[in-house]
Amino acid sequence: MGRFVSRQNKFAEEALISLALLFVFQMIAWHNYNSIRGVVFISPSAYGTTDGIITHSYVYSSGGKSASYDFNITYTYSVAGRSYSSDQITFGYRGSSDRNFADSYVRKYPTGSQVVVHYKADEPTFAVLEPTVMGNTRVVFWVVLIGSIVSLLGLGRTIWRLRQMGVR
């Protein structure tokens, strides 16, 4: 009986590890949702363009000694007489440990400047200023996809093994 319980505990640990990894991969996907969506699932021909104006543009930091410098740039634009707002500049990461990275975007898009906004023609709330800048978004997508599949397979294998042992 002791060996049976020990194997059950091992399988329960494997299931918890699989669930934890799946949770981590899903949090990464959620955090990068718009970037992944823009790079992987939307064709460049799906975008229309319109004029916009930068309403906020600044750099902020977080993290103390190992600071990350991020840019926060917001713009407004109109499509078919309706006004929209977005902060999606590229489909890449918006921060770096190098302040010059964030500063370069704030200099490029100062408050009050006119910009060309690329928006999804059938969903004008989805917009970006630089639709071709992707950073490592494709890599993030594939890591999340493969990691999620492996986690689900590990969880499925554990459940199958427990059922084979007669555990319900």
Q: What is the pLDDT of residues 53-65, one digit of tens each?
A: 999 999 988 877 7
Average pLDDT, the chain: 86
What tokens were used for 125? 């709330």
Global pTM? Answer: 0.70
Output DSSP code: residue 29.
H
In this structure, the number of other CB atoms found within 10 A of the CB of residue 98 comes to 11
In the chain, what are the domain boundaries?
1-31+136-168, 43-132
pLDDT digits (tens, 9 = 90+) for 21-53: 999 989 888 877 777 777 776 777 789 999 999
Vertex 112 angle, CA 106 and 113, to 5°: 70
Phi-psi region of 59 (alpha: psi -120 to 50; beta: other; left: phi over 0): beta
Question: In b/e form, how buried is each residue of 33-43, taking b as 16+ CB within 10 angstroms?
Answer: ebbbebbeebe
Which amino acid does the sequence have at 74? T
Contacts of 24 (CB under 8 A, 6+ apart): 147
